[in-house]
Structure 1
């Protein structure tokens, strides 16, 4: 555990000179994001993030409005996952196929009008086969109409922080009022993985056969066996270009990539693989402190104990460029000494994290325990000693 000098207001240290306690955390309370670095790509919109820390590894027009095309189907599947988790639906439930669903053009699951299809098959038809027909079956089955379902999609998007998205249909069929952003799709992907792990595995399945027709997963990273790839969804229309929301995990690190506006399937495959490989190669995660861990001890004035431990309340995990690891600096800032009484969980100072080419990160430090004030005699004695001997 890193130690700080107790007689100074700020004591800096290199983390390479002190051991770190390694720990695993699936979801961190403290998300530390660093600025993205320059990287060239022909894609019009890109966002590459670390799923666990929220760190932005690279971005290009990430908040720009764009057409999601079939990446919309991630939101449609999300709506189904939500109802499966809360018990409103089960995988064995089924929905009828309307004439509208059966007639829908574009990519298809090849459902048959008048028949019923179970939820499990419909999910695979949406995710693996990118079936526009399957999305309409789900939309009508859940909300009565695709229009009502699209409104619910937009409302759910707002609830999870997708504030730059508006949905007009369940499939991503071209509509000028149907839009999103790379940032929003990354939020959706991350929330899908975090909240619906029981169903997320469908995104990694390579093929699905329905009505005797076998179709392959359209995700080039899944088809190409890219190391660690396990999702999510492609998209393409003339207006949107070729896009992909992807995720891959290696050695416990998960990256999420949203890329859009490319001019071919080949470019989509090449760029998605290149950017994810760059993210895994050039960046790493560094655990700094666990929630509740003592960062330093602050001297106490007129307290029943001479010092009080300062702790972080949340795990601190930093995602940064590997080449800057040696220059990582951590310091604590506080007013010394801290006057008693001190209440447990009161903020005593700040943990400051600095490294080249990143914004300074600051997070509060809290008192780990109560420190009562000395009694009258003790305070008088301490004051006398201070006047006699000065500060020790």
Structure 2
């Protein structure tokens, strides 16, 4: 499939529209769609919406990207991960329909997902944008039930633009005429762009800080909108930033008048987002005294979210094992982490052509004010940290691609 287009990413809808037409338009035979865009928090917000819907006994299809350990994680059919043989058959069908025409990997797999979703009954489809929004392959749904834009920040500038306003314009491309949109916390310049597009389209907005509020209070979480107040447990996904994600999920569920609020915040599952690793070979190698965590955040906002999470955890010397891609603002990611960590051990990401060499990640950490060294492997880094500090908190971080490698290695 990769031979059918020379670029991994090439944002346009022309090829997707052509292929969907050849497949007899499965995108027209989908359950109500909740379309989610944003820079950070898309996956967590989507996971909470799913948990709320399933808590009410509803069935949800889910499409997310990228995967962590195995490709089929991207597609859930009425709650269950798609079977490998089913996915293979769908991809064969898509490739046959496409023929020799140009198509990217993400475009082809998105069309395969739409085929699957069109053939299995469900109450909703939770659809995560791959990159941007306006010309992302998922943006072929003429009238979703609801759109959601989570916080917009600087990332993927080579595809989406150099300014926050330009990036917000790409994300706001999922807005549709007359369709409500839940908007998470935004910088003023991003919100201005979203509001201007919504006004042009007559799309009602439900904006954080205006139409809904969500905050922690006395060890609980409070959500409030025009329909009243909800007093709920704190989200089971760790980190203060998950309060905002939970708020967006609850605002979405309330806009749909569906779902169970408490299930949304207590039953969500989303791996590699400040995930505590408790079992597996890496945990055994770390030894009983080490507290081992995994996070896939990779941009400055992601670094800020991890820093806020660490600052809210019980005091403990924290050491990072970090691998990043060469397309990211590495120092920007590390700068907010510097006050909260004792050291960083840099690694390259195995099998990733775009990995930043470990020594360059180490040097970026030092520029950010973090004591840093490099290691050949994650297990080597973990062994060195355990030798220095056998009671440490260790966070493996910097990339979803590294997180995926770790989850595969850890079984």
Q: Shorter-normalised TM-score: what interval? A: under 0.3
TM-score (norm 2): 0.24
Higher RCO by CA contacts (8 Å cutoff, separation 6 or greater): 1
Higher helix share: 2
Relative to the length of structure 1, the TM-score reads 0.24
CA radius of gyration, larger in: 1
